[in-house]
Amino acid sequence: MSDTHAESIPFVRETTLPQAAPPTAERGVYKWGRENLFATPANALLTLVSIYVIYVVLSAILPWVLNGVWNAGSLSECREILAGTRGGCFAVLVDRWEQLFFGFKYPSDQLWRPTLTLVLFFFAVAPVLFFDLPRKLLAFTAVFPFLAYWLIWGGPILVPIVALVGVGAGYVVYSRLVAQSFAGGFFGGIAAAAVVWFLGGYLVDATTGPSSLLDAVPSRDLGGYMLNFMLGVTCVSLSVPIGIALALGRQSSMPLIKWLSVIFIEFIRGVPLITLLFVASVMLAYFFPPNSTVDLFLRVVIMITMFSSAYIAEVIRGGLAALPKGQYEAADSLGLDYAQSMRLIILPQALKISIPGIVNIAVGLFKDTTLVSVISMFDLVGMIRGPILASTDWNGVYWELLGFAALLFFVVCYGISQYSQWLERRLATDHR
Amino acid sequence: MTEAVKTPAQMAVSDEVAISIQNMNKWFGSFHVLRDIDLTVNRGERIVICGPSGSGKSTLIRCINALEEHQKGSIEVDGTLLSSDLKNIDKIRSEVGMCFQHFNLFPHLTILENCTLAPIWVRKTPKKEAVETAMHFLEKVKIPDQADKYPGQLSGGQQQRVAIARSLCMRPRIMLFDEPTSALDPEMIKEVLDTMIELAEEGMTMLCVTHEMGFARQVANRVIFMDQGQIVEQNEPEEFFNNPQSPRTQLFLSQILGH
């Protein structure tokens, strides 16, 4: 150390101090505990109170879970085994797991079909969620809805094939015509798909024989958690694109499109979902041609999708409004047309801003699928309230069953939440 | 001011008309922003537009690529009459480059993607060629090494130079600058102005709204002064600065040059 200049006001540093370790009180567990748990007396008091509360809760729940009965034929048998001690009667889950997951009517020897569909679902959804995966995997994602339909509902394989061919034909026509005009491509595509479906309908009718590969399972036989999952996945994946279209429609400079979007959104948001579901189960048939029976599952999907797409539209509108006007102007000034500037510039940014809101609605929608139990569809909650709790064996096992339902929903919703946070971090390019 | 650079008069200006604005009027609601604007710009001309805020100078150049719609009169760009036909507007926009005060780079794309996006989607240029062009212009604005970064990682001056390169990638015949240096620190202003001077020397037709009077003297071959939505005075830079005619121009110049 040089003290040459210590006494004078002008100062020149001649040596560099080496790096030193921080004092012991400023490192590791000790520092963390002092700063986070015992920073002030009030803070310390809160810590102690919290520890006590956690202790009380765990001391009530843990013995109940750990002392639970997993093998019994009925609630009374459970009580005999427990012999007065505290414990859950989880035997109901073992006894009725099939009903909880698949409903009580799905043929027992066919349960591999929904299970296989679930496994395939993860492969189909992976390239959509994780866009670092090769884009070619999206081909399977495109085929998956038709495959899944066939696996779950069974019946003649021609039905999903005709549907797929129709969509393919529509896409081909669309991509041919879209260079000239978007509207031409859009309506041309729909017309092409409709023609294929119409002709395909005759083909299916002509070839219907008893020899279908998979036995047909009608929609009313679907149930349990499978039904919630199917409704949730279908409605979320349909309502995001419809929501985007509604949000853009609401911003449109064309008055007709704008007002149609506004009226749709405001009307749907002003009506409770339960009302819409009752409409789906009772009244929607009046709007379809006589003698045509539209599947209950499809009717419910239409209603839930309409409901959530209105909410998603408003969330995305918020994202669009948050973008600086300069982004629109920059896209315009480069000569991009409306579709290009929306697809390449505006929507990628607006959707990124809207991720928390969209995920919020997706999670809410997934849990709202349990409302179908009020229109006598036997989803997870419907199964618990209906066939299981009403049976003489398991009448009264509320905590175990509803706790299990809560756990199943929590796992999926927490997964969605974690994914969305990962996605936000992954897409962060603004370096704020 | 007069270094080794050619004086404005020496730089070639052709007789070909690039932009022709006749009797153009614009209203924002009932507010008359632009009143009877007549302006002809020849190919290779470099025009600086100045004036107090609210005088309509930004609105004027934004009308040229139809970011704002005019209500009366005509604007002809490269022989194409600006009408409400969308195809027409997109054609003009792809011929006219524009730089904004706040750069307006696309924050979700890298610098390179910012530059290649419009050539690929509007001009249908093959990707490889678009990347080559983009790198060429990024080298020209002296930031090829930042190509894979995102706009948020660059300084303001660098972002504005990327914005210029992004416009140049469309090979525009006319460049519009809307206060390109107003949001920048003094040190960064110079790097952006240097890029613009280089562009001017290559004979680009430029319309520039700016208060950089040094730039106007060095590069412009015409300075336009606007006030209350009208062109009040236009002249060659030397005459404009040394011998302004209208009292409004004299007042404006004394205020911006007097400190």
Stretches where chain B sits below pLDDT 50 are: 1-5
Separation between Cα atoms, residue B218 and residue B6, nearest integer Å: 8
Predicted pLDDT at B4? 47
Looking only at the bridges linking them, the beta strands covering B17-28 and B72-77 are antiparallel
Name the DSSP letter for residue A39: S
Looking only at the bridges linking them, the beta strands covering B72-77 and B222-227 are unpaired
What is the tally of helices (H) and strands (E) in chain A?
17, 0
From A8-22, A94-108, A235-249, the region with the lowest mean pLDDT: A8-22
Q: N- to C-terminal Cα distance for chain A?
A: 41
Return the amino acid letter for B63.
Answer: C
What are the residues whose beta carbons fall under 8 Å from the beta carbon of A402, sequence distance 6 or more? A384
Interface touch A337/B96, C-beta < 8 Å: no
B172 touches B93 (CB < 8 A): no
Separation between Cα atoms, residue A313 and residue A242, nearest integer Å: 8
Nearest by CB to A431, from B86, B105, B152: name it: B152
Predicted pLDDT at A296? 84
Predicted pLDDT at B8? 52
A146 touches A159 (CB < 8 A): no
Helix (H) or strand (E) holding B173: none
**Residue A143 corresponds to which tokens in the numbers above?**
């085929």
The dihedral over CA atoms of B151, B155, B158, B159, expressed in degrees to the nearest 10, equals 40
Predicted pLDDT at B1? 41
Average pLDDT over residues A84-109: 88
- pLDDT tier at A218, thresholds 50, 70, 90: confident
**Has residue A6 got a pLDDT over 70?**
no
Q: Tokens 């479906």 belong to which residue?
A: A197
Predicted pLDDT at A393? 86
**Has residue A12 got a pLDDT over 70?**
yes
Interface touch B122/A336, C-beta < 8 Å: yes
**Has residue A83 got a pLDDT over 90?**
no
Other CB atoms within 10 Å distance of the CB of residue A228: 26
**Has residue A430 got a pLDDT over 80?**
no
- pLDDT tier at A180, thresholds 50, 70, 90: confident
**Has residue A2 got a pLDDT over 90?**
no
Average pLDDT over residues A321-326: 93
Q: How far is A420 from chain B (nearest CA, A)?
A: 18
Separation between Cα atoms, residue A18 and residue A27, nearest integer Å: 19
Nearest by CB to B93, from A327, A334, A349: name it: A334
Predicted pLDDT at A175? 86
Q: Under DSSP, is residue A173 helix (H, G, I), strand (E, B) or coil?
A: helix
From A86-95, A279-288, B178-187, the region with the lowest mean pLDDT: A279-288
Q: Under DSSP, is residue A379 helix (H, G, I), strand (E, B) or coil?
A: strand
Other CB atoms within 10 Å distance of the CB of residue A430: 13
Interface touch B152/A429, C-beta < 8 Å: yes
Average pLDDT over residues A288-298: 76
Interface touch A334/B94, C-beta < 8 Å: yes
Predicted pLDDT at A310? 95
Predicted pLDDT at B2? 42
Separation between Cα atoms, residue A380 and residue A371, nearest integer Å: 10
Measured between beta carbons, which residues in chain A are less than 8 angstroms from residue B105? 330
The closest alpha carbon to A242, from A176, A308, A197, A327, belongs to A308
B78 touches B92 (CB < 8 A): yes
Predicted pLDDT at B137? 94
List residues of chain A with CB under 8 Å from any CB of chain B: 324, 326-327, 329-337, 340, 344-345, 348-349, 352, 427, 429-432
Q: How far is B251 from chain A (nearest CA, A)?
A: 33
A221 touches A105 (CB < 8 A): yes
The sign of the torsion formed by the CA atoms of A268, A274, A280, A284 equals: negative
Looking only at the bridges linking them, the beta strands covering B31-42 and B80-81 are unpaired
Q: Under DSSP, is residue A293 helix (H, G, I), strand (E, B) or coil?
A: coil
Average pLDDT over residues A23-34: 80
Separation between Cα atoms, residue B79 and residue B227, nearest integer Å: 28
A299 touches A281 (CB < 8 A): yes
Query: Cα B123 to chain center, whole Å?
Result: 21
Predicted pLDDT at B12? 63
Average pLDDT over residues A314-338: 93
Q: Using one digit for the tens of pLDDT, what is the confidence trace for A222-273?
A: 899 999 999 999 999 999 999 999 999 999 989 999 999 999 999 999 999 9
**Strand partners of residue B50:** B225
Cα–Cα distances in angstroms (integers) from residue B206 to residues B14, B39, B59, B96, B237, in the given order: 13, 14, 16, 10, 15
Q: Under DSSP, is residue A83 helix (H, G, I), strand (E, B) or coil?
A: coil
**Has residue A108 got a pLDDT over 90?**
no
pTM: 0.85
B184 touches B157 (CB < 8 A): yes
**Has residue A211 got a pLDDT over 80?**
no
Specify the higher pLDDT residue, A181 or B186: B186
Q: Under DSSP, is residue A410 helix (H, G, I), strand (E, B) or coil?
A: helix
Other CB atoms within 10 Å distance of the CB of residue B231: 22
**Strand partners of residue B41:** B19
Substitution target from B67, B110, B116, B146 for chain A, most A beta carbons within 10 A: B67
The closest alpha carbon to B149, from B157, B158, B137, B160, belongs to B158
ipTM of the complex: 0.89
Q: How far is B93 from chain A (nearest CA, A)?
A: 5
